[in-house]
């Protein structure tokens, strides 16, 4: 027998628990499994299994390699498989993830569990709409907030919440003490326009949560090379700017502008390229003023044609949509979302960081010339080899 599994994620613990409780009420033979990371400094996680009537079992799960996330991976599958082996005693397993655990890694773990006993049927992030803005604006390290999932966890509150929010195809909206306003909902819909928004009390909630989940499609939807980024929009004082350009950034001018660009919007993300790294696709992720820039390998335009069959089909399709006759898939595609967004100032700052006509002409004539000069981006990325 295959046991259906639903993941419930989110930094908003009260909203998350309310969502889990609603699922347990809707499925009498449903159970919820939760690993509490707050006990990790003492060397264990605390595992709780409960149903709609209360706690069924509770106990420690030891850390693995001094890492709470490793312990979760090692302990979660055996526990779910044990529930699946119980046959009809369990009709639904709800995995309530701890505050800062991102659903993607757990979803991919469950999706590759190959013995057929488990089926991931839904991923939902529980959200208190009134807390979306303050969470995204929080640039504090998770460790400082007591939310680190491992000793070396360097994530921030804002970027962790952004990934939780943007990965799940369903957002469960649970109002807390402060009622949300129109700007809160506009922010949610502009950040994740493809998400279904519903409340745990809605009659169709169970059906919405358990419609099925494709981990490969979800990964492609958030990967910078294939991301379905938001479109421009404006509502209730919240705006989204979509900025695109063909020519590369000047590395020095862009690096100098990073603080203003990272703080210019509550959330920004996308992909870009630099004049001194013509072959490298770079990702941009910022929330709460904290910016993460990463090198994600080559643009498809730089690969020999013989290598294309080895590239995932989603990546090839995304590249061909905007294929440039000379540049291929190389280009700037950045999206900024925020209340009170100064779109004109952002657009002007971004355009000032592009190569000028003279610089572009020199770059086109000799692209390798730029690669011989170091830039401040060497502090953020691996040196060019």
Give the orientation angle of helix 157-167 with respect to helix 215-222, to 10 degrees: 130
Q: Would you say residue 228 lies in a domain?
A: no
Angle at 356 between CA 355 and CA 361, to 5 degrees: 85
- Inform me whether the pLDDT recorded for 47 exceeds 70: yes
Q: Are residues 275 and 321 in the same domain?
A: yes
Pairing state between β 238-245 and 233-235:
antiparallel
**Lowest mean pLDDT across 41-50, 160-169, 205-214:** 41-50
Look at residue 378 in the predicted model and tell me its pLDDT.
81
Q: Are residues 359 and 276 in the same domain?
A: yes
- Inform me whether the pLDDT recorded for 2 exceeds 70: yes
Look at residue 346 in the predicted model and tell me its pLDDT.
98
Give the pLDDT confidence of 143-152 residue by residue, as tens digits.
999 998 877 8
Q: Would you say residue 237 lies in a domain?
A: yes
Q: Which residue has the tokens 């519903």?
A: 198
Look at residue 384 in the predicted model and tell me its pLDDT.
41
Q: Are residues 197 and 261 in the same domain?
A: no
Average pLDDT score over residue span 339-358 = 97
Q: Which domain holds residue 302?
A: 233-379
Q: Are residues 215 and 264 in the same domain?
A: no
- Inform me whether the pLDDT recorded for 285 exceeds 90: yes
Look at residue 383 in the predicted model and tell me its pLDDT.
45
Look at residue 64 in the predicted model and tell me its pLDDT.
82
Q: Are residues 197 and 259 in the same domain?
A: no
pLDDT bracket for residue 114 (50, 70, 90) = low
172 close to 15: Cβ distance less than 8 angstroms = yes
Q: Are residues 209 and 243 in the same domain?
A: no
Q: Are residues 115 and 198 in the same domain?
A: yes
pLDDT bracket for residue 382 (50, 70, 90) = low
Q: Are residues 175 and 247 in the same domain?
A: no
Domain count, the chain: 2
Q: Are residues 93 and 72 in the same domain?
A: yes
Q: Would you say residue 194 lies in a domain?
A: yes
Give the pLDDT confidence of 355-372 residue by residue, as tens digits.
999 999 988 888 777 776
CATH number at residue 245: 3.30.1220.10
What's the CA gap between 170 and 8, in Å, rounded? 10
Please tell me the pTM assigned to this model. 0.94
């Amino acid at each position: 027998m295959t046991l259906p599994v639903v993941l419930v994620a989110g930094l908003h613990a009260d909203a998350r628990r309310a969502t889990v409780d609603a699922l347990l009420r809707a499925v009498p033979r449903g159970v919820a499994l939760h690993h509490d990371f707050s006990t990790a400094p003492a060397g264990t996680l605390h595992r709780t299994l409960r149903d709609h009537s209360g706690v069924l079992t509770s106990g420690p799960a030891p850390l693995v390699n001094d890492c709470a996330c490793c312990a979760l991976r090692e302990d979660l599958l055996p526990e779910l498989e044990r529930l699946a082996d119980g046959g009809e005693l369990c009709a639904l397993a709800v995995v309530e993830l701890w505050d800062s655990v991102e659903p993607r890694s757990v979803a991919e773990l469950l999706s590759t569990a190959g013995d057929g006993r488990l089926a991931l049927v839904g991923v939902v992030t529980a959200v208190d709409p009134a807390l979306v803005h303050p969470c995204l604006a929080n640039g504090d390290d998770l460790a400082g907030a007591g939310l680190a999932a491992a000793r070396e966890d360097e994530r921030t509150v804002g970027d962790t919440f952004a990934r939780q929010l943007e990965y799940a195809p369903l957002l469960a909206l649970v109002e807390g003490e402060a009622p949300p306003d129109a700007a809160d909902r506009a922010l949610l819909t502009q950040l994740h326009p493809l998400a279904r928004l519903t409340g745990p009390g809605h009659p169709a909630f169970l059906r919405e949560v358990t419609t099925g989940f494709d981990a490969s499609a979800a990964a492609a939807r958030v990967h910078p090379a294939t991301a379905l980024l938001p479109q421009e929009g404006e509502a209730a004082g919240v705006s989204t700017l979509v900025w695109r350009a063909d020519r590369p950034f000047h590395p020095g001018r862009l690096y100098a502008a990073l603080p203003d660009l990272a703080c210019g919007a509550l959330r920004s993300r996308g992909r870009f390229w630099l004049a001194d790294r013509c072959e490298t696709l770079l990702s941009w992720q910022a929330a709460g003023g904290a910016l993460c820039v990463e090198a994600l390998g080559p643009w498809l335009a730089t690969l020999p044609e013989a290598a294309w069959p080895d590239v995932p089909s989603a990546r090839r399709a995304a590249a061909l949509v905007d294929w440039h006759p000379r540049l291929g898939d190389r280009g700037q595609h950045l999206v900024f979302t925020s209340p009170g967004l100064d779109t004109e100032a952002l657009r002007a700052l971004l355009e000032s960081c592009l190569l000028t006509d003279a610089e572009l002409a020199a770059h086109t004539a000799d692209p390798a010339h730029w690669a011989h000069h170091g830039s401040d981006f060497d502090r953020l990325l691996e040196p060019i080899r």
